[in-house]
């Protein structure tokens, strides 16, 4: 029987995300925080009004694909090229430090008594470190766009590092999985990833040339180019996930990156931004909240969750910030990049689910994973706004210094300055007359 309940679900999500988004904006926080809270409040964790459905999951996946495609369209290629090597260093250290931190804190609490099945304690503790390496770039992208900082040096570094982080996360997950499952071949995974970048380079060059040629020959109806761009985004996302084992959002971002340098990229981006704003993005961010279910936990696991959360936040800030500093970013930019990589979001949940399915992750560690997802997802937009607003402080300090300097002037100094300005103005006004008087008289 055909049901229309999904229409009510969408209506509730759109209304709740907008109202809470406006509320969080009034509190000087990014609106994406309100959208995330809307999902938590409406979902099983609070009011239990809405639940995840196959339809909502699919629309949410489309939402994050469009979000990353738009990020690619709005990317500053010059800044991204400059941040290329730096992004790799930032991502590498930003993976190694959380991996070590997660493994270390897990070893303290898990000495083998929480092991399930045939998995060793070492492998399970290492997998907790793998969960901490994840980065959900979609939260940072939406926040940076809202703050108008997406095309800055720090914004480009966050984007590049998060994408490389995604690849490294796949490799780390594959390495750990290969020890638990003999059918997983590490070298096959690495070969597929390498082939993906070769494929993107070839198909991207061909598509860019053809797309640019068609646009230059026909500028009458631009809407058709939006459809072609959307098709290209979806196909590249599908092929990335299906044939190369790379996340679909990585394919979507590269699709946007290929089109961003074309003549009509701004027009295309504006059309997708409208689609994302009115439907897809709210459902995606709310779906993260809907997936949250807080299981019952013992006091020991609650303490472990708190310490693991602290480690999850600090290791990304320290690891990615240190990588940025080594690449000669300023202290403030390094902090911005570190904060931008904190959010684990749905990526950590996906990794945790795969670990549970393979028997690497014990069920008792699901609670801590969910807490990390909730807290890091909510605090990342808040912290990003704080650290990016620090860019305005020097200008503010300079303005305050000017005011203090003005106050230090006495009234007599003001009068002297005004008198001097009047003299200069008078000289300027009489200059044409002086020139005219010095000009030689014409004989007549």
Over residues 313-344, the pLDDT tens digits come to 999 999 999 999 999 899 999 999 999 999 88
Q: Would 22 be classed as within a structural domain? A: no
Q: Which residue has the tokens 């807290």?
A: 375
Which of 351, 369, 395 terminates a domain? The answer is: 395
Q: Would 323 be classed as within a structural domain? A: yes
Same domain for 423 and 369, yes or no, is no
**Domain range for residue 388?**
53-395
What is the rounded CA–CA span in Å between residue 17 and residue 289? 11
Average pLDDT, integer, range 241-248 = 85
What is the rounded CA–CA span in Å between residue 250 and residue 289? 23
Please report, for the domain that includes residue 173, its CATH number. Answer: 1.20.1530.20
Q: Would 440 be classed as within a structural domain? A: no
Q: Which residue has the tokens 């699919």?
A: 58
What is the rounded CA–CA span in Å between residue 36 and residue 284? 9
Same domain for 242 and 387, yes or no, is yes
Higher pLDDT, 316 or 410: 316
**Which among 175, 89, 86 is positioned nearest to 129, based on CA atoms?**
175
Same domain for 147 and 248, yes or no, is yes
Q: What is the pLDDT of residue 147?
A: 84
Two tokens at 390?
């620090």
Same domain for 350 and 407, yes or no, is no
Q: Would 41 be classed as within a structural domain? A: no
pLDDT at residue 298 is higher than 60 = yes
What is the rounded CA–CA span in Å between residue 169 and residue 102? 14
CB 348 within 8 A of CB 131: yes
Q: Would 443 be classed as within a structural domain? A: no
- The four Cα atoms 25, 161, 373, 31 give a dihedral, to 10 degrees, of 10
> How many domains are contained in the chain?
2
Q: What is the pLDDT of residue 346?
A: 66
């Amino acid at each position: 029987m055909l049901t229309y309940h999904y229409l009510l679900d969408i209506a509730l999500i759109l209304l709740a995300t907008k109202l809470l988004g406006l509320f969080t904006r009034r509190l000087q926080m990014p609106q994406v925080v309100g959208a995330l809270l809307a999902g938590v409040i409406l979902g099983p964790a609070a009011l239990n009004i809405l639940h995840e459905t196959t339809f909502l999951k699919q629309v949410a996946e489309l939402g994050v694909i469009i979000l990353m495609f738009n990020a690619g369209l709005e990317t500053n290629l010059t800044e991204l090229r400059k941040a290329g090597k730096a992004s790799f260093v930032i991502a590498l250290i930003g993976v190694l430090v959380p991996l070590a931190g997660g493994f270390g804190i897990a070893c303290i609490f898990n000495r083998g008594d929480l092991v399930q099945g045939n998995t060793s304690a070492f492998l399970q503790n290492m997998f907790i470190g793998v969960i901490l390496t994840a980065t959900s770039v979609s939260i940072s992208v939406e926040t940076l766009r809202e703050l108008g900082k997406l095309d800055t040096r720090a914004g480009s570094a966050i984007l590049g590092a998060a994408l490389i982080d995604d690849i490294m996360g796949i490799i780390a997950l594959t390495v750990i999985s290969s020890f638990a499952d003999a059918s997983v071949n590490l070298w096959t995974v690495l070969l597929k990833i390498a082939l993906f970048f070769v494929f993107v380079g070839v198909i991207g060059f061909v598509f860019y040339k053809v797309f640019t040629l068609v646009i230059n020959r026909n500028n009458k109806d631009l809407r058709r180019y939006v459809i072609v761009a959307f098709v290209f985004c979806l196909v590249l996302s599908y092929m990335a996930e299906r044939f190369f084992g790379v996340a679909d959002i990585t394919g979507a971002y590269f699709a946007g990156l290929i089109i961003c340098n074309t003549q009509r990229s701004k027009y295309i981006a504006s059309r997708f931004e409208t689609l994302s704003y009115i439907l897809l993005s709210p459902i995606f961010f709310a779906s993260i909240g809907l997936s949250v279910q807080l299981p019952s936990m013992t006091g020991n696991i609650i303490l472990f969750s708190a310490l693991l959360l602290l480690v999850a936040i600090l290791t990304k800030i320290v690891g990615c910030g240190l990588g940025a500093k080594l690449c000669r970013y300023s202290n403030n930019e390094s902090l911005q990049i570190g904060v931008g990589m904190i959010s684990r979001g749905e990526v950590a949940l996906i990794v945790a689910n795969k670990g549970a399915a393979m028997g690497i992750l014990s069920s008792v560690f699901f609670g801590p994973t969910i807490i990390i997802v909730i807290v890091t997802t909510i605090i990342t937009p808040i912290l990003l706004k704080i650290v990016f607003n620090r860019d305005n402080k020097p200008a503010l300090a300079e303005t305050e210094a000017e005011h203090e300097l003005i106050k230090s002037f006495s009234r007599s100094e003001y009068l002297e300055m005004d008198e001097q300005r009047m003299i200069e103005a008078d000289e300027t006004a009489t200059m044409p007359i002086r020139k005219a008087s010095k000009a030689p008289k014409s004989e007549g």
